[in-house]
Structure 1
Amino acid sequence: MNFNVRSRGDHTSNVLTQQVKTYLEEFGLTYDEEEPEIVISIGGDGTLLEAFHQYSHRSDETSFVGVHTGHLGFYADWQPEEIEKLVIHIAKTPFKIVEYPLIEVVIRHTNEMETERYLALNECTVKSMEGSLVMDIEIKGDHFETFRGDGLCLSTPSGSTAYNKALNGAILHPSLASIQMAEMASINNRVYRTIGSPIVLPEHHTCLLKPKNDVDFQVTVDHLTLVQKKVKSIQVRVANEKIRFARFRPFPFWKRVKESFIAE
């Protein structure tokens, strides 16, 4: 089996990365940065997000497993002292595949620029580079509202515990293939009216954002920040692709939520 190891870059993560690489090669696995079947992420959720984007084109072939060397992460379920146990599992145990939904972000332009397509594991955010964001929002091809405010956050269920939660969005279980849209400081008056609450769209509903003015936009896709010019529309829907996690033991979602936000 081919594998790759991604490190956060700090001393502890780098040492563990070298240990995992050495151990797995001793078990006869092949280190392969181009076409790994499994990627071991050592760091935090940010490290796993970076690993996912490196191999998002291999969503059907590459699985991920995380080791956290800082605070408990939602995607990293192994601790540094369990490295040897994890290595033995990877080398000797057929693992279970757990798939989480992703969102597809398609950005179209008014000029000759090519259409851009991205996949997000956590969320996509849209903000204006000049003043308030003003967007017409269509759902399934019908006008839903005209938004005016600081910005919009469209998240996956697994990303609902990240930026979305800070915007008072709901926490959704990753088994629900859906998109959640949360507002950032919307302006409501006689001209602009928004729903004022986060909304959840099922996988067969497409959300289309259409700018009302010709300004530049800051679009984030997980950890990536993109400045977009001459935007015609931003289309967001549940992607056909999914991220694959290698599970060697139970990793209950609600237990992670409790440990991260409630447990002392």
Structure 2
Amino acid sequence: MNHLKKIYFFDPFGKETKKIRKDLEEVFARVDIETVKTSDEADIIASIGGDGTFLQSVRKTGFKDDCVYIGIAVRDGQYLYCDFNIKDHKAIEEAFTSSETKVRKYPIIEVKINDNQTNYCLNEFTLRSSIVKTIMMDIYINDFLFEQFHGDGIVVSAPTGSTGYNKSLGGAVIDPMLPAMQLTELASVNNNKFRTLGTSIVFSKERSLTLMIDQAHDHYPIMSLDNEAVAVQNTDRVEIKVSDRTIQTLRLPNNTFWHKTQRNFL
């Protein structure tokens, strides 16, 4: 951990967490880590808040793959992305001085809507109808038309996002050591006229998905990237794949992905 020397605090709450931020600056100074004013200067980006704030910090700083992201919770509770709590300064200091602390990499997915710029997700991408009726789309795996979907929508999750919306829909929890993504349906229609696989599908990094929206039914589907809504008019095509990029976080001996999954669900 000796190569991590500069930290940037992602603090969207401003005045509410001013005292917390000042305390944290002192904590990191004690382990010879300097606070910097911009994320471009940092090799550590620390969010102050909860899991939602962590996701924002990654998105707002551009999914940097040359730094380590950490989450520092301001309230008690169980978190997936926050390894630390503001009340436990000792744990923070020990993590950045211990030889047992390692850097781990999380896969992310990339999403391209129409011909717009590529977006990234650490949790999931969702697409659903914007009107009170089902949405229809052709789902291609690579260039192969796999199924014609008719239902409320779909969720495509990265491994770390598999414990969220995806799990509530009956999807599998995926080990983040696997560079994969998972497609899960939202209330698909299955009858004599319409037919989908009706179960979650896990895809390797070598696969890509293309969603071709039926323009006769819905030009303006509701879409989200992690916890942020996306507004794109006249959507007709969405391309999704596992990115070559990753984000880095800390791997603590007693706070791995599976430790946190156990605490949250068992």
Fold in common (TM above 0.5): yes
Aligned to 2:92: 86
Q: State the 1:80 CA deviation.
A: 2.9
1:89-100 pair list within 5 angstroms? 89-90=95-96, 92=97, 96-100=102-106
Aligned to 1:137: 139
Conserved? CA contact 1:21–1:31, under 8 Å: no
Conserved? CA contact 1:6–1:51, under 8 Å: yes
Note if 1:101 corresponds to 2:103.
Answer: no
Q: State the 1:98 CA deviation.
A: 0.3
Q: Percent of aligned pairs with the same residue?
A: 26
Q: State the 1:78 CA deviation.
A: 1.8
Note if 1:67 corresponds to 2:38.
Answer: no
Aligned to 2:224: 220
- Normalising by structure 2, we get a TM-score of 0.88
Q: State the 1:52 CA deviation.
A: 0.5
1:143-154 pair list within 5 angstroms? 143-154=145-156
In structure 2, do the counterparts of structure 1 residues 134 and 28 end up closer, same or farther at CA, with 3 Å as the change threshold? closer
Aligned-partner Cα distance in 2 for 1:225–1:49:
13
Query: Which amino acid in structure 1 is aligned with residue 9 of structure 2?
Result: V
SS of equivalent to 2:161: helix
Aligned to 1:179: 181
Query: Which amino acid in structure 1 is aligned with residue 255 of structure 2?
Result: F
In structure 2, do the counterparts of structure 1 residues 21 and 127 end up closer, same or farther at CA, with 3 Å as the change threshold? same
Query: Which amino acid in structure 2 is aligned with residue 234 of structure 1?
Result: V
Aligned to 1:122: 123
SS of equivalent to 2:7: strand
SS of equivalent to 2:231: strand
Q: State the 1:257 CA deviation.
A: 1.2
Q: State the 1:28 CA deviation.
A: 5.7
Q: State the 1:232 CA deviation.
A: 2.7
Bigger mean CA offset, 30-39 vs 195-204: 30-39
In structure 2, do the counterparts of structure 1 residues 34 and 65 end up closer, same or farther at CA, with 3 Å as the change threshold? closer
SS of equivalent to 2:10: strand
Conserved? CA contact 2:109–2:158, under 8 Å: yes
In structure 2, do the counterparts of structure 1 residues 28 and 58 end up closer, same or farther at CA, with 3 Å as the change threshold? closer
Aligned to 1:244: 248
Aligned-partner Cα distance in 1 for 2:93–2:15:
20
Q: State the 1:191 CA deviation.
A: 2.4
SS of equivalent to 2:107: strand
- Normalising by structure 1, we get a TM-score of 0.88
Q: State the 1:62 CA deviation.
A: 1.6
Aligned to 1:34: 39
Aligned-partner Cα distance in 1 for 2:203–2:33:
45
Bigger mean CA offset, 95-104 vs 198-207: 95-104
SS of equivalent to 1:116: coil
Q: State the 1:253 CA deviation.
A: 2.1
Query: Which amino acid in structure 2 is aligned with residue 224 of structure 1?
Result: E
Aligned-partner Cα distance in 2 for 1:46–1:25:
26
Aligned to 2:234: 230
Conserved? CA contact 1:107–1:235, under 8 Å: yes
Aligned to 1:16: 20
Conserved? CA contact 1:6–1:17, under 8 Å: no
Residue correspondences, number: 255
User: Considering only aligned residues, what root-mean-square deviation do their CA atoms show, in Å?
Assistant: 2.2
**Deviation string, structure 1 residues 144-168 (Cα, Å, up to 9, x no partner):** 1011111100000110001101111
Aligned to 1:111: none
Give the gaps of 5 or more residues in structure 2: none
Q: State the 1:85 CA deviation.
A: 3.7
